Amino acid sequence: MASISTPISTSSPSFPMLQKPTITTISSPFLRLPSISKARKVRCSIEDKPLVKPIDDAPPTPEDDLTPQAPCPDDVTPPSPCPGKNSWPELVGKTGVVAAAIIEKENPLVNAIVLLDGTPVTMDFRCDRVRVWVNTEGVVIRTPVIT
């Protein structure tokens, strides 16, 4: 970005004629990134792991094992950083009001919020919130977890 600056003209005899404007460059506050068409694709998959061989003739150690590991199943939730119970799969099929009461009894550090499936929600993570998703009949349809 550039800006043009020039001194202000006054009727004083010390300024007999105007000076030429000067062009000053101003650094942009935005970071310029390459366009998507020029950006290279980054591939991150276990199939693309490089094959690393030991330099010496020593047998490989378990740390050298580059055998691809099985991916985590979709239904496994990683451990929560929040204290207390953080998942209630046994409440699927119960009414939302009953499920919320059980959740708040089993973990008094959380607030259970009953929501109709499809309701827009924020994506931030909070240790004090459990969303209880229900269908139009008020029955829990997803495992309530701290979100």
CATH number at residue 117: 3.30.10.10
Mean pLDDT over each residue of the chain, to the nearest integer: 73
pLDDT tens digits along 83-111: 899 999 999 999 999 999 999 999 999 99
What is the extent of the structural domain holding 122? Answer: 89-146
Q: Is the separation of the CB atoms in 3 and 24 below 8 Å?
A: yes
In this prediction the pTM is 0.48
**Closest to 145 (Cα-Cα) out of 107, 118, 119, 117:** 107
The answer to whether residue 64 is domain-embedded is no
Task: Name the percent of the chain in helix, strand, coil, to the closest 5.
Answer: 15, 20, 70
The answer to whether residue 25 is domain-embedded is no
The answer to whether residue 16 is domain-embedded is no
Predicted confidence at residue 20, as pLDDT, reads: 55
Q: What does the alpha-carbon distance between residue 115 and residue 99 come to, in Å, rounded to a whole number?
A: 12
Domain count, the chain: 1
Higher-confidence residue of 124 and 24: namely 124
The answer to whether residue 10 is domain-embedded is no
Tokens read off for 110:
């959380």
The answer to whether residue 11 is domain-embedded is no
Q: What is the dihedral of CA 134, 139, 141, 143, to 10 degrees?
A: 90
Three-class secondary structure of residue 98 per DSSP: helix
pLDDT tens digits along 62-79: 655 566 666 656 555 566
Q: What does the alpha-carbon distance between residue 107 and residue 101 come to, in Å, rounded to a whole number?
A: 10
The answer to whether residue 141 is domain-embedded is yes
The answer to whether residue 101 is domain-embedded is yes
Q: What does the alpha-carbon distance between residue 26 and residue 114 come to, in Å, rounded to a whole number?
A: 52
